């Protein structure tokens, strides 16, 4: 397969001479705690196809999600709290395939997947095929926070990943209010389900024999994987330089009941990891696309590892090309569909060194092999979020080539 990169530094204006600042590890100045650091958030409303007619709605929900996260950061929240707040806003939108308005499965029910990871503690929480919860990411976040409290009675290990009825009952048992599935379905998701059901019934009537059934499966897979892959996600760096990532999805339309996509799988839907002695950069990743492709390549973790290279843009380009499009694990696939948003950061030296000023250099990128991907981004120093719908170059083939864009931002802070 051929990868055709398209790069645009869409946020270069956010930073004055940031590229000239030599980076240093986030472990520097261990004893100094920031008094007021501007955080940063990058969100996505899915990698798939975003029609021009709905572009305004997709951009608007991304703006709201960014603002929600920044408000939490300004209030002193950690990255994991801010990223969860952004996801709640994305899940509540009827235009995204997550939480409210999610795709219906073959049985006409909504089953959602979500996960969240805290780069500071490296804890992770996830739910798969969960029904009756308005915000699956909040259940995942509660699993994460409960696990951080330590072992349960009799020395039992607390769960980090629950599915189906067990996940729902655990959430209710921890005080989270249930939401009837019929209230989570929207006019759009219901009409899409009826339309897809008619298509399947018609195809089944026309099919005769094994070959036709095989063609039907291939057609269904292509239709699912090239259309509304609007999984949502976000990555955040907070006032202390910690990172976090989250992802949420209603899954493929007309999926088999019980199917769990990449949004819930460890290392596939999201990844976050603070800098350490081995890694000079803190990294956070959130993915979207055909879940089975993302699971088989563990793309979130692969991209995070790649971000430890000196050149972030080249590293992501290589990861998407070699670990995804040309992955041996997907050799049988004609089209490999997915997208990622990536954030990495490190301490940077100020032009005029001061004992009272620290800086965080934030590099952020997104890349996708789908027709388009909608993103939004904002720092706590910005008055409003910016949004962008990235599209493949004209004439290129989705699933066989990729687009990559991004920018750089420098955050400054006073320290005690």
Q: What is the pLDDT of residue 176?
A: 97
Q: What is the pLDDT of residue 23?
A: 37
pTM of the complete model: 0.87
Report residue 368 as tokens.
């996708």
Q: Are 143 and 123 within 8 A, CB to CB?
A: no
Mean pLDDT, range 338-360, rounded to an integer:
78
Q: What is the pLDDT of residue 225?
A: 45
Nearest one of 10, 87, 103, 86 to 48, comparing CA atoms: 103
Query: What is the Cα–Cα distance from 236 to 79, expressed in whole angstroms?
Result: 6
Q: What is the pLDDT of residues 283-335, one digit of tens each?
A: 999 999 999 999 999 999 999 999 999 999 999 999 999 999 999 999 999 99
Please report the domains of the chain, with CATH numbers, ordered by start residue: 39-95+227-412 (3.60.20.30)
Q: Are strands 124-130 and 161-163 parallel, antiparallel or unpaired?
A: parallel
Strand segments, DSSP code E, in 154-264 are 161-163, 232-237, 243-249
Q: What is the pLDDT of residues 375-405, one digit of tens each?
A: 999 999 999 999 999 999 999 999 999 999 9
Residue 48 has pLDDT above 60, yes or no: yes
Query: What is the Cα–Cα distance from 279 to 379, expressed in whole angstroms?
Result: 24
Q: What is the pLDDT of residues 112-153, one digit of tens each?
A: 999 999 999 999 999 999 999 999 999 999 999 999 999 999
Q: What is the pLDDT of residue 209?
A: 52
Phi, psi of 69 (to 5 degrees): -70, -45
Q: Are strands 270-273 and 243-249 parallel, antiparallel or unpaired?
A: unpaired
Q: What is the pLDDT of residue 339?
A: 97
Q: What is the pLDDT of residues 180-234, one digit of tens each?
A: 888 899 988 998 899 999 988 888 888 655 455 444 444 444 444 444 556 899 9
Report residue 150 as tokens.
């330590």
Nearest one of 380, 376, 383 to 407, comparing CA atoms: 376
Q: What is the pLDDT of residues 272-286, one digit of tens each?
A: 999 998 899 999 999
**Which residues, at least 6 apart from 46, have a Cβ–Cβ distance to it below 8 Å?**
96, 97, 228, 229, 230, 231, 232, 288, 339, 373, 374
Mean pLDDT, range 43-52, rounded to an integer:
91
Number of H helices, E strands in the chain: 10, 15
Q: Give exposure, 315-346, as e/b (b: 16+ Cβ within 10 Å).
A: bbbebbbebbbebeebeebebbbbbbbbbbbb
Q: Are 363 and 404 within 8 A, CB to CB?
A: no
Whether 370 is a known active-site residue: answer no
Q: What percent of the chain has pLDDT over 90?
A: 70
Q: Are 275 and 25 within 8 A, CB to CB?
A: yes
Q: What is the pLDDT of residue 349?
A: 64
Q: How confident is the model at residue 355 (pLDDT cuts 50, 70, 90)?
A: low
- Reduce the DSSP state of residue 105 to 3 states and report it: coil
Q: What is the pLDDT of residue 277?
A: 87
Residue 29 has pLDDT above 50, yes or no: no
Of the given ranges (23-27, 74-78, 173-177, 393-397), which has the lowest mean pLDDT? 23-27
Q: Which is catalytic among the residues 96, 186, 208, 231?
A: 231
First to last CA, the chain: 53
Element (H, E) at 283: strand 282-289
Q: Are 364 and 307 within 8 A, CB to CB?
A: no
Residue 2 has pLDDT above 90, yes or no: no
């Amino acid at each position: 397969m051929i990868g055709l990169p398209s790069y645009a530094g869409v946020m270069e204006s956010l930073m004055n001479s940031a590229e000239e600042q030599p980076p240093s590890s986030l472990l520097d100045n261990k004893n100094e705690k920031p008094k007021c650091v501007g955080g940063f958030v990058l969100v996505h409303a899915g990698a798939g196809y975003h029609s021009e007619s709905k572009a305004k709605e997709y951009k608007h929900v991304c703006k709201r999600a960014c603002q929600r996260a920044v408000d939490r950061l300004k209030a002193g929240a950690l990255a994991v709290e801010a990223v969860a707040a952004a996801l709640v806003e994305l899940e509540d939108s009827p235009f995204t395939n997550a939480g409210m308005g999610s795709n219906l499965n073959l049985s006409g029910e909504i089953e959602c997947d979500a996960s969240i990871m805290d780069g500071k503690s490296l804890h992770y929480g996830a739910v798969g095929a969960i029904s009756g919860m308005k915000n699956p990411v909040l259940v995942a976040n509660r699993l994460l926070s409960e696990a951080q409290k330590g072992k349960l009675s009799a020395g039992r290990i607390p769960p980090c990943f629950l599915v189906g009825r067990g996940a729902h009952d655990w959430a209710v048992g921890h005080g989270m209010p249930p939401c009837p599935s019929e209230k989570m379905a929207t006019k759009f998701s219901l009409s899409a389900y009826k339309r897809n059901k008619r298509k399947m019934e018609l195809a089944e009537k026309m099919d005769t024999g094994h070959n036709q059934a095989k063609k039907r499966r291939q057609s269904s897979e292509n239709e699912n994987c090239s259309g509304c892959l609007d999984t949502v996600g976000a990555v955040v760096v907070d006032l202390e330089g910690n990172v976090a990532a989250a992802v949420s999805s209603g899954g493929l339309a007309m999926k088999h009941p019980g199917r769990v996509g990449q949004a819930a799988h460890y290392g596939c839907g999201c990844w976050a990891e603070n800098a350490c002695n081995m890694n000079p950069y803190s990294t956070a990743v959130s993915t979207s696309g055909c879940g089975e492709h993302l699971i088989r390549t563990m793309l979130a973790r692969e991209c995070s590892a790649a971000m430890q290279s000196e050149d972030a843009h080249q590293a992501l380009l290589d990861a998407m090309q070699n670990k995804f499009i040309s992955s041996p694990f997907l050799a049988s696939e004609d089209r490999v569909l997915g997208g990622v948003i990536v954030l990495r950061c490190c301490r940077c030296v100020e032009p005029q060194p001061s004992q009272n000023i620290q800086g965080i250099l934030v590099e952020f990128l997104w890349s996708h092999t789908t027709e388009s991907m909608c993103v939004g981004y904002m720092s706590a120093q910005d008055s409003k979020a910016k949004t962008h719908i990235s599209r493949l170059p004209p004439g290129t083939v989705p699933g066989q080539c990729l687009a990559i864009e991004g920018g750089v931002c420098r955050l400054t802070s006073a320290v005690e």
